[in-house]
Structure 1
Amino acid sequence: MSESPVIERIRTRLSEVLDPEIRLPITQLGMVGAIHVDEAGAAEIRIKLTIEGCPMRSRIIDDVTAAAVRAEGVTTASVELGVMTPEERAELKDQLRGGESGRINRFAQPDSLTRVYAVASGKGGVGKSTVTVNLACALAAEGLKVGLIDADIHGFSVPGLMGITDKPTRLDEMILPPVAHGVKTISIGMFLDGNQAVAWRGPMLHRAVEQFLTDVHFGDLDVLLLDLPPGTGDIAISVAQLLPGSELLVVTTPQAAASTIAERAGGLSTQTEQKVTGVVENMGPMTLPDGTTLDLFGTGGGQIVADRLTEQLEISVPLLGSVPLDTRLRQAGDDGAPVVLSAPDSPSGFALREIASRMARRPRSLAERRLPFGPA
């Protein structure tokens, strides 16, 4: 039995509503149930949530209501919430996985077009996490589909820097990551209560990163960034094993003590066979109000790292940019509002957007990828 024209118009409008976590139309996900419209144009719409305690229920109600009343012939709209049956959830999971069964690391598949950047530093305190978060948000602002993994299990800081307070949603064994500033983000900190410490050793660290890559549903991404812990320890090696096509992005400060150690982080690529895509210098010289320059941590350290890695690896390793010292960068991190969005024209915001723009201009490519077919 065909539906009335007004109901068809409502369904068309609802196809514009994206699930806040999965980022696909709710009509495509099977979340829209029965729709009724009376003679006065009052619409009643049944929406099936993926789980009973969906943290985004209020937003879904607001988005569905706003979309429905835009349909011609609708005067008011109300939403009745239900929950998917186990069979409907299983069908949804199968759809999200593209028909693949089992736990699969999609980013390690030969046909994956996602560019994976592991952001590394030789030592802590150089602003690696701040750089990673801002690059992720700037890339998303460029229109790319971006994912972010906080792989610094012991020193996680990404949720705070992103202003994320929502917990991931569990769809049985599948985890749907929160979305902030257009970036799908996951961190071990999202599963802990308060400022709890994580006291894990090598095998558990490896397992945590592996779960982020297999159990978390990121969907089709243009770029995936991983915020690595400082140094060249267990997680850096695990990421290289789990993501053999990943590239290293090295963060340093201009200070000689930091740049020397950062060179080691980039040099790890000779053992892991990763490509070093470039160097980012953070906490660079800042211009004071009177026009003079303050180089609190020295100058040139980023270029030195890039030059030494170029010589050591025998490939071109560019300095992608220098991010100057900027109180707004620190304040934005404390506020959970990345500076590339909250103060895009500040010295640090501008520098980080320029670096992201250079990264965004690298298109997804099939070069050196094995296609899933052969000659007849």
Structure 2
Amino acid sequence: MRILHTSDWHIGRTFHKLSTLSAFESVFKALESIVREKKVDVVAAAGDIFDSSTPSADAVRLLDSILLRLSDAGARVVLTSGNHDSPARLGAKAPFAHKAGIHVLTETDGLAAPITIPDEHGDVAFYGIPFIEPALQRHVWTDADVMKSQKDALGYALKLVRSDFAERGGRSIVLAHTFVQGADGESCDSERDIVGGIDKVPVDYFTDFTYAALGHIHGRAKLADSVRYSGAPLHYSFSEAGKARGGWLVDLDANGLAGVEWVDLPVPRPLSVITGTLEELLVDDAYAAIESNWISATITDPVRPVNTLRRLQERFKHAVEITFAPSYIHNDGGASYAEKVAGKTDFELVDVFLETVRNGEGVTNEEADVMREVIGDGSLV
């Protein structure tokens, strides 16, 4: 059996207030081609299918289209809900989807009842563990010793899974949306925590299964041969710039895990982070190759330029983020503003004010000429 492990689709998410639906559509056309070309039997998506618990109609229609196309390409689909999803909304059509080979696992009361998918060596059991909010679940799992954290919740959920699997035997795949120890270096700005806090779960919670397909971290990560994060199919923040997008092709044989291979997905529009004065960024030929990328610019001018974003977009159409970090910081000796303006003339007051807000640059010669016309010898006319 060949499984394609993905996660964190976040359908409906915006990127700096811009829709990502068309980008997501293009990426999943490529994923559909991978399913056909690589002869994928099962696509596993480990949570955060939608970006919101109340997805838009367009987001819902796009998901329906994607799932049907993956099914038409010859793959079964197994997906779970993440902390961004509403289990009830995502799972609303689960009974109908099941008939089409699309298995939506969002309920904790059925997590120990796997979806079984056969290959030439027998059945493979797919256990879907949705994101679990301990505060809500402790009233359901009343026999649990403690239910205060994700570690507690996942520990109890996996206890139920192991109990079923001990009787069933064979090969097992676990899908879980959580934060596992060791994935810290792959976290990024776009992993927003919507429902409660997500504490860390030990890796060895998952190592006795044939494969653990994890979600929540937006960068790929290998925590053990059989325990991995696939990351998100799109870049959702500039902290993800340069990180590969794709999924893990997981091959099973009669004995269990036979191999894992990374497969890339295309990046519709790469992300670039650039630094320099505004003038440097506007004229430097070194940036010619990235003019069509998403751009986050750090502007190092000592004085903040006027209309920075508009001017930057004249060259970089998709510049969406600006940070000001002056290359020179004026040292005013620690004097308070009141001390700096005490006893000053009107002309000097303006000069001190501009020097304060302009990082040490006071009145220019041109501004001084205008002020002299208005202020004259230092008193208001």
Structure 1 length-normalised TM: 0.30
Work out which structure has the larger RCO, using CA pairs closer than 8 Å and 6 or more positions apart in sequence: 1
Q: Which structure: larger Rg?
A: 2
Higher strand share: 2
